[in-house]
Amino acid sequence: MALTLDALRAAAPAALLPGLCVVCRDWCRRSLCEPCLQRFAPQKSRCAGCARVMPQPVARCGECTRQASAFACCIAGTDYTAPWDRLITGFKFHQKAELAVALSELVLRALERTPARKVVFASTMDVYAAEDRVHRETDQPAPVNAYGLSKLLGETLLAYATRTNDRLSGVALRFANAFGPGETNPHLIPDALARMRDRSQPEIRMGYLGATRDFIHVADIADAAVAALFQDTGRFEVFNVASSIPTPVRHVVDTLRRLVGDPRPIVEDQKQFRKFDRPSLSADTDKLRSTLGWAPKWSLEDGLRDLVERTAGEARSA
Ligand SMILES: [Zn+2]
Ligand SMILES: [Zn+2]
């Protein structure tokens, strides 16, 4: 068998090949050198509930006791200080996907010091090729954007960690287009709702509406994460989390307009067209349904109605 670079990387993604430390740019075996880890990510005593730095390790700090955390446990790879803040900005906003390896290693290193047994990794459908067909977990991943690539690297690192750490098992959940309360990014649905609140124009101007997406409610995603965490899934598995219903973006905006009761026409504005990677997104969820007994409880219509009611409630109490 010919020993190709790809084969070598697949066999030992982080241990064999030398590279440059992402902090000091010196040669090292991993993406972070030991002196930089010692200097910039020293081990610290933390609160197990929120990961705040404490004089000694505690199960619950004063703050966690006063206000119950949404998390049973919190693990921090490092504090959000230099040089990590600069690297995270580069990773999130400047297409530096290669930093996913170093940043994931920080978290995996922190995991080695905790009694954690299982990691559920939030991945994405963007790991799949931009092909107009239903995606299954057995498809060869072929991301076409830095986000998908960084998530695929994260999946690979988690799989590697479960192979090299006997105590650890892992699940990667590949999410379709999440929607529901608490959205912090200006994605399609919050954007459309904001435009419908603004009645200063005679029409609702939107970007490209011709794409097809798979919308899955955050509550169904949370159900899948809980099922993946508490059920036995072996050492490492990957699951799609999706509605499996390909939905035209135009249909979503139309439904929102009907639920809001906005009589204005929807106009596709070419000036608002953004570069996008895939014409359609649809995923098969047979594996998740048959292995974990999961099924989505929220239809798109019910989820959108709930969002519109919440938005109206927030507007009234504002
Ligand atoms: Zn270094
Ligand atoms: Zn705490």
Tens-digit pLDDT profile for residues 15-28? 456 678 989 998 88
67 Cα–ligand 2 center, Å:
9
Q: Name the range with the highest mean pLDDT among 15-19, 47-51, 91-95.
A: 47-51
Q: Closest-lying ligand to the alpha carbon of 21?
A: 1
The reported pLDDT for the residue numbered 204 is 92
Among 43-47, 181-185, 209-213, the range scoring the smallest mean pLDDT is 181-185
Mean pLDDT, rounded, for 173-200: 88
Please give the full DSSP string across 59-118, using - where no structure is assigned.
Answer: SS-HHHHHS--S-S----SS-S-TTHHHHHHHHHHS--TTHHHHHHHHHHHHHHTS---E
79 Cα–ligand 2 center, Å:
14
Domain boundaries, the chain: 120-318
Q: Closest-lying ligand to the alpha carbon of 24?
A: 1
Q: Closest-lying ligand to the alpha carbon of 33?
A: 1
Cite the beta strand spans of 92-191 per DSSP E: 118-124, 169-175, 177-179
The reported pLDDT for the residue numbered 68 is 76
Question: Which residues have a catalytic role annotated?
Answer: 147
The reported pLDDT for the residue numbered 154 is 86
Mean pLDDT, rounded, for 171-183: 93
Whether 29 has a pLDDT exceeding 80, the answer reads no
226 Cα–ligand 2 center, Å:
22
Cα separation, 271 vs 289, in Å, equals 41
185 Cα–ligand 1 center, Å:
33
Tens-digit pLDDT profile for residues 134-161? 999 999 999 988 888 888 988 998 898 8
Q: Closest-lying ligand to the alpha carbon of 19?
A: 1
Q: Name the range with the highest mean pLDDT among 4-18, 98-112, 258-272.
A: 258-272
Cα separation, 128 vs 148, in Å, equals 8
Whether 287 has a pLDDT exceeding 90, the answer reads yes
The reported pLDDT for the residue numbered 2 is 40
Whether 233 has a pLDDT exceeding 80, the answer reads yes
Strands 169-175 and 266-268: unpaired
48 Cα–ligand 2 center, Å:
6
297 band by pLDDT with thresholds 50, 70 and 90? very high
**Alpha-carbon torsion 223, 225, 228, 231, what sign?**
negative
23 Cα–ligand 1 center, Å:
5
69 Cα–ligand 2 center, Å:
8
The reported pLDDT for the residue numbered 4 is 46
The helix/strand/coil state of 27 is strand
Per the model's pLDDT, the better-predicted residue between 233 and 149 turns out to be 233
The reported pLDDT for the residue numbered 39 is 93
208 Cα–ligand 2 center, Å:
44
Query: Mean pLDDT for the chain?
Result: 86
The reported pLDDT for the residue numbered 16 is 52
Tens-digit pLDDT profile for residues 185-198? 778 898 899 899 88
The reported pLDDT for the residue numbered 145 is 84
Cα separation, 133 vs 141, in Å, equals 14
Protein residues within 5 Å, CB atom, of ion ligand 2: 47, 49-50, 61, 64
Whether 54 has a pLDDT exceeding 90, the answer reads yes
Strands 212-213 and 247-248: antiparallel
Q: Quick one: CATH architecture of 120-318?
A: 3-Layer(aba) Sandwich (3.40)
Q: Which two tokens stand for residue 110?
A: 């922190």
Q: Closest-lying ligand to the alpha carbon of 102?
A: 1
**Alpha-carbon torsion 117, 121, 127, 132, what sign?**
positive
Helices vs strands, H then E, count in the chain: 11, 11
The reported pLDDT for the residue numbered 77 is 87
